[in-house]
Chains A and B, each alone.
Chain A
């Protein structure tokens, strides 16, 4: 396949890239004082699996992304813990920092950030 037709997911390195990114990303999120309280009561194994699904989607990989699921999964955080744009921004920032740490070229990072951005209104339930 020539480079011009490779998908974003292929250019990033597919599933191996997701696996490389997921632990780095999750560690950044859990260490980030702006947002880590949202994860205090989560089961870490299940959460890591969810992060992997999310990253696969954001990397342009095969997914069954459902806006309704995303909405439902975060609705209680919006309602009870005040999840808002600032927290969403922090997650996107951690995602970009993860990719920088893995030496992903900036133009690909921008594409990933754009896909992540497309989930904002679902996550924030509006």
Chain B
């Protein structure tokens, strides 16, 4: 083993033989968070910017984190020169043009953008959309990764939501927006295709889940795929016919729309989507989960799923925190 150079925060430091990346950073007074220094607490997670890090430095990390070359600095003995990022990288934006606007239900707009550059994203990730004056909001990508230049989003109109109100009322086909690099770890990887998938979403949480389902089916996912989409009332659901058609086409795809208030018509379950799912699927050992939507639902379902036997590493979640006051 010999020493290697590490580029970090616009500096170059040397990692001596037998020294971890964390040790080298601390010795050089690079500001890096850390805790246990033995790979357990994951406080010192950083990202390699030049290819995969040594495998041993990814011990215990979620597959999606490994996939994006994250690793633990305290476990990493460099095998070559490295460039690493401690904080999330500065965001890059690309220009996009609105090519379609349509309503999915009374309060949810489907917005489709044509991006100037090809985007490298995974179904289930989100981007930040930026208006000319700088107002920025995060939205999940609703399509699979086959349409690299065309991204669609489900934008729920929130009372007092500055961006969503504007997108619904004033944004027109032909207008331009800026789109950030894709972010987030709630996405599908075509590994372990035998695993069953459980997807639970509320409201426009269907957007990333629909993208993930489309991606999984495209890859010929072999395990069962169960989608539970919930809202308070029927008018908060959408794509019911589309999801039913998909379920008719793919025998391993199962769809259950759920409403938590009022009477449920035939084919719709009564109750919160997560509770309906947990009742129907008592054992989730070995399942992979995707949870998108209201933060309380995501938090509660994560705990329910873990207690039903799912491993935390297999639970992927994206809580939709909103800037304005209301969201059901």
- A: residues with CB less than 8 A from B are 19, 23, 26-27, 30-31, 44-46, 48-50, 52-53, 56, 62-64
Contact = CB atoms under 8 A, between A and B. Distances in A.
Contacts of B60: 19, 52
Given A30-B307, A31-B307, A64-B36, A50 B312 contact: no
Contacts of B303: 30, 44
B306 A44 contact: yes
A46 B42 CA distance: 8
B312 to A, nearest CB: 5
Contacts of B36: 53, 63-64
A27 B304 CA distance: 10
Contacts of A62: 38
Interface in B32-68: 35-38, 40-42, 60
A63 B35 CA distance: 10
A52 B36 CA distance: 10
B307 A56 contact: no
A52 B40 contact: yes
B268 interface: no
Contacts of A52: 40-41, 60
Contacts of A63: 36, 38
B56 to A, nearest CB: 12
In terms of DSSP, what is the predominant structure of the interface of chain B? loop
Nearest to A27: B307
Contacts of A19: 60
A53 B312 contact: no
Nearest to A65: B36
Query: Which of B36, B40, B302 has the largest count of A CB atoms less than 10 A from its CB?
Result: B40
Nearest to A47: B312
Contacts of B41: 49-50, 52-53
B15 to A, nearest CB: 21
Interface in B233-263: none
B57 to A, nearest CB: 15
A95 B144 CA distance: 44
A49 B36 CA distance: 10
A30 B306 contact: yes
Given A50-B41, A52-B60, 5 more contacts: A23-B311, A30-B303, A30-B306, A44-B312, A63-B38
Contact of B302 (A31, A44, A49): A44
Given A27-B306, A30-B303, A53 B311 contact: no
A67 B312 CA distance: 28
Given A30-B306, A44-B303, A56 B311 contact: no
Contacts of B37: 64
Contacts of B38: 53, 56, 62-64
A68 B130 CA distance: 45
Interface in B187-213: none
Contacts of A48: 312
A62 to B, nearest CB: 6
A112 B17 CA distance: 36
Contact of A53 (B40, B306, B315): B40
Interface in B147-197: none
A64 B307 CA distance: 30
Nearest to B309: A27
Interface string B297-328: 00000110011000110010000000000000
